[in-house]
Amino acid sequence: MSRQSLSIALTGSGGSGVMTMGNMLLEAVAKAGWYGIMTRSAGPQIRGGEAAALIRVSNMPIESHDDSFDLVLAIDPASMGRFVAEIPLRPDSFVISDPQGGRRSSSLPESPAKVIDLPMKELAKSVKGGRPNMIALGAIASVIGLSETSIFAILKTMLESKGADALGASRTCVQAGFAAGADLLEFNTPQMQQDTDTQRWGITGNEAAGLGAVRGGVRFVAAYPITPATEVLEWMAGVLPSVGGVLVQAEDELASINQIIGASFGGLPSLTATSGPGLALMTESIGLAVCSEVPVVVLDVMRCGPSTGIATKTEQSDLNIALNGLHGDAPHLVLAPSSITDCVFTTQWAVHLAESLQAPAIVLSDQSLGQTRAIMNRPADITFMARRSVPAQSAGYVEENYTRYAIGDSGVSPMAIPGQPGGQYTADGLEHSQSGAPSSLPEDHLAQLDKRQHKISQFNYGEHWADIEGSGELAVISWGSTCGPIREALARMRDQGQEIRLIAIRLLAPERPSEMAAALVGVKRLLVVEQSHSRQFHRYLRAAYDLPDETRVLNRPGPLPFRPAEIMARLDDWGEGTGS
């Protein structure tokens, strides 16, 4: 089956109901049996500003947006200007916009697309309590071939709580929009009915990461709100009580990280979620978790930095701080999911690794994964559960001469949990002897540094350290959300008969030199793809691994996503020399 898809952008001023409309449209196409994704793009304004819902629907699971959009519906044409770069159009694309309220020509000077008028505001005025976004929803549904009744069903479930009047007004607007859309334009919707036997989910990356954490056994979360990570925390606040867990809203990120260290010291697998600024505040205490050997998971949903940067938009630029932000020699885990589905797996795996290794794990998601809602196949069940080594007890007591930081073969020493008689020790950020007593002796420092490094390095991470897909002398290496458009680009190239390999790294720290060497066997040309201005990932690869001589880089900062076609173009146009 070949991929067929349809890309639709909905834009409007903030508060015009673009996201509501997008959610309803996604729900409708999901009910009709399609897969899809919807990414939120907005300014930092709470109300006002501009918002866009970027939607792609397909006959098969998708992880990325397409090269361009087929259809744009601009409720407020003036709002489109903000999104020119984010919504590439073709000459055969359509823009449906309201002739009232700003001239689209001034906001889209270069647009090659055909512009079609739809007086949404005027149509909405004729309905008591009517809103232009519902006119737009009806029109879009009609244009792409959804049934009116399917939209009514969505309205009923999503608006029932707003009362009969609001529901009735929305229904009337959808009807009016549907009628207006019927002969608005000639649009060939691809046939996209898929088999509906597979259990499908509608879930965002942020919810998926939260779910992975809960599946992995996390039962304590400390939370300080920050864009774009807040939804992880909000979702967990709702579900943790029902699985015997708890979420505490903390006063700041310094408190969040220390609360989870305290809770984990008490025996509960613990997590916090944040974004770049919060991670920066937490780094001192992540070092504490390293030194005191307390497992915690810190999920960083990355956004454009440095400083406040662009809080609502995606970037892969927290790699450096996640890998190298801790002072001292501080071995820890850094992982990254490469798709929304993978947010479940990777977060769950991170909990398992943190608990198994008594070390902090940083999981790098990003805004484009976290705030994209996907209609996807239900992720497989995974059996990783939090498994922490605790000292054995006989006759109710921990064995005599228990030493918390004993040097053993694996580097992992059993961690007594408060309440265990005879297991008492002091967890310490001071360097310590094997018993945990503070020590400034060089031999204790060396022994404990070795222990903490060894447990991380020697662990068998198995095949999950990376996804190696395809084969060939040409390969792409990447991590995180950029793997979405890469996977699509490579699929298209394979359809054209090219052999090409993808190395999508999931475990960024510790490094896996022998596994990487095996993954690169036979690779002559390697393209590094990353969303970072200073090529953080390329620098990391060069420091950690032996790369082929012909290694090139495709990089740029956020927030603009890579498009499959530009990755294909970069691979086709390999060129001479060493530049990128």
Partner 1 sequence: MNRNTACPHIEPRGYKSGVKPVWCPGCGDFGVLGSITKALSGLQIRPESTAIISGIGCSSRMPTYLSTYGFHGVHGRALSLATGLKVARPDLTVIATGGDGDGFSIGGNHFLHTCRRNTNMTYIVLDNQVYGMTKGQASPTTEPNWEKGKLTPSGTGINPFQPLVVGLASGANFIARCSSSDSNGTARTIMEAIRHPGFSMVQVLSPCVTFRPEQREWKKLVQPAPVEATSDAAQAARRLLTDKGLFTGILFRGSRPPYQPELKSSIENIAELEEEFCL
Binding footprint of partner 1 on the chain (CB under 8 A): 30-31, 199-203, 207, 211, 214-215, 219-220, 222, 239, 241-246, 248, 250-252, 254-268, 270, 284-285, 287-288, 292, 375, 378, 397, 400, 402, 416, 418-430, 436-438
CB-wise, 397 or 461, nearer to partner 1? Answer: 397
Report the nearest approach of partner 1 to the CB of residue 73 (Å).
24
Which two three-digit tokens encode residue 175?
């009807």
The span from the CA of 200 to the CA of 447, in Å, is: 50
The span from the CA of 225 to the CA of 529, in Å, is: 31
Report the nearest approach of partner 1 to the CB of residue 479 (Å).
25
Could you list the beta-strand ranges (E) of 459-578. Answer: 466-469, 474-478, 501-505, 507-509, 525-530, 550-555
Report the nearest approach of partner 1 to the CB of residue 228 (Å).
19
CB-wise, 258 or 536, nearer to partner 1? Answer: 258
CB-wise, 268 or 554, nearer to partner 1? Answer: 268
Report the nearest approach of partner 1 to the CB of residue 463 (Å).
25
CB-wise, 90 or 378, nearer to partner 1? Answer: 378
Report the nearest approach of partner 1 to the CB of residue 67 (Å).
27
CB-wise, 4 or 393, nearer to partner 1? Answer: 393
Residue 102: beta bridge partners?
none
CB-wise, 29 or 134, nearer to partner 1? Answer: 29
Which two three-digit tokens encode residue 351?
């909990």
CB-wise, 134 or 268, nearer to partner 1? Answer: 268
Measured over the CA atoms of residue 453, residue 454, residue 458 and residue 459, the dihedral's sign is negative
The span from the CA of 294 to the CA of 260, in Å, is: 10
CA distance readout (Å), 107 to 79, 192, 312: 8, 33, 22
Phi and psi at 92, nearest 5°, equal -95, 15
The span from the CA of 346 to the CA of 204, in Å, is: 15
Report the nearest approach of partner 1 to the CB of residue 3 (Å).
20
Report the nearest approach of partner 1 to the CB of residue 39 (Å).
18
Report the nearest approach of partner 1 to the CB of residue 231 (Å).
14
The span from the CA of 360 to the CA of 295, in Å, is: 5
The span from the CA of 215 to the CA of 205, in Å, is: 15
CB-wise, 124 or 203, nearer to partner 1? Answer: 203
Cβ neighbours around 183 below 10 Å, total: 8
The count of C-alpha atoms lying within 13 angstroms of the C-alpha of 238, restricted to the half-sphere facing its C-beta, is: 8
Cβ neighbours around 203 below 10 Å, total: 22
